Amino acid sequence: MSGHSASSYAASAQRTIRMESEAVAALEQRIGEDFARACECLLGITGRVIVTGMGKSGHIACKIAATLASTGTPAFFVHPGEASHGDMGMITASDAVIALSNSGAVPEVITLLPLLKRLGVPLISMTGNDQSILAKASEVHLNTGVETEACPLDLAPTSSTTTALVMGDALAIALLEARGFTADDFAFSHPGGTLGRKLLLKVADVMRSGDAIPMVSPNATLSEALLEISNKGLGMTTISSGNGTLAGIFTDGDLRRALDARVDINTTPMEQLMTTGVKTADREMLAAETLRIMEENEISSLVVLEDEKITGVLHLKDLLHAGIA
């Protein structure tokens, strides 16, 4: 057993978080002309951004490439060791390269410098040493250095990889904003999973339409409305005027109030019991937006209108089934 107590584990974690937070805070002060030049360089290419790095820097480079690619800047990772054995063919003269190395002197990356110069591709480096070989060989150098690693031995890359990752995120977001990248663009890069569903699915994709819409006329009796509610299984029904416009809705809550008032279910018309001025949706709205409306208003369904006429009904269970809620 190590003999460490719960408090010593917590103190170690807190020290690590504090040191890495301070390193990131110091990074903010270095953002200036060099960062702007890096953005202009990446915006100016017609090819892709190649991100490379060795060891822990390589892992960070992979993540930076993935973030760039998902936010509108085509990018991929090339392993510097593999680049010397054939993968240099993945880099073209229309590309740009971002190279990560805390020391700025890792041999596998330095070996690539003459080849990159021969191709004439712009090189942006992220290192912790302005005077390193890699920094001096770059068109733009972004200093991601730290005073000390969070590792108590000051050996394992910790704070330095965090600052490199944050600098990569800063580049990606600055480029995203410069390109005018939209939520629809983002959805195109993320078609799978919950994120894709939230960004891609519209009301028209998940609403009930046609015969699935619970609907009665204002003159229908409460008993007729209850039959429609039971048949359609949504716990509500729309009340439609003769031309298909929405007159109101009738929900479980309305039913409780009607029963408390002891109305005659066989003779009382819906126009006397329905709720008017209800929340509605448009078929082109994002389905995720309707979930917010339902939550804010504490309701479980929305009537979908087109040209003021009922074209569908969207229930919370439809959003759940689609993976939105």
- Min mean pLDDT across 24-28, 167-171, 194-198 is at 194-198
211-234: average pLDDT:
94
**According to the model, what pLDDT value does residue 195 have?**
60
Residue 185 is predicted with a pLDDT of 62
pLDDT number for residue 220: 95
Report CA Rg, the chain.
30
Determine contact, residues 172/32, Cβ cutoff 8 Å: no
Q: Checking DSSP bridges between strand 309-315 and strand 96-100, what pairing results, if any?
A: unpaired
Q: Tell me the per-residue pLDDT of 286-308, one tens digit each, with 9 for 90 and over.
A: 888 888 899 999 999 999 999 88
pLDDT at position 323: 76
Contact by Cβ (8 Å): 149, 160: yes
Indicate whether 30 pLDDT > 60: yes
For the stretch 48-73, pLDDT in tens is: 999 999 999 999 999 999 999 988 89
Report the predicted TM-score, pTM, of the whole model to 2 decimal places. 0.65
Provide the pLDDT for residue 2. Answer: 58
> Mean of the pLDDT values across residues 219-223?
95
Could you give the domains of the chain? Answer: 6-181 (3.40.50.10490), 203-321 (3.10.580.10)
Helix (H) / strand (E) element for 81: namely: helix 80-83
Instruction: Report how far residue 222's alpha carbon sits from residue 216's, in angstroms, rounded to the nearest whole number.
Output: 10
Residue 84's pLDDT is 85
pLDDT by residue (tens digit) across 69-116? 988 899 999 999 999 888 899 999 999 999 999 999 999 999 999 999
Which is nearest to 176 in space by CA: 24, 39, 36?
A: 39
Q: What's the confidence (pLDDT) of residue 184?
A: 63
> What is the pLDDT, as a whole number, of residue 1?
47
Phi, psi dihedral angles at 202 (to 5 degrees): -105, 170
Q: For position 189, what pLDDT does the model report?
A: 62
pLDDT at residue 194 tops 90: no
Asked if pLDDT for residue 218 goes beyond 80, the answer is yes
Q: What is the pLDDT of residues 231-250, one digit of tens each?
A: 999 999 999 987 889 999 99
Locate the DSSP E strands across 5-55: 49-53
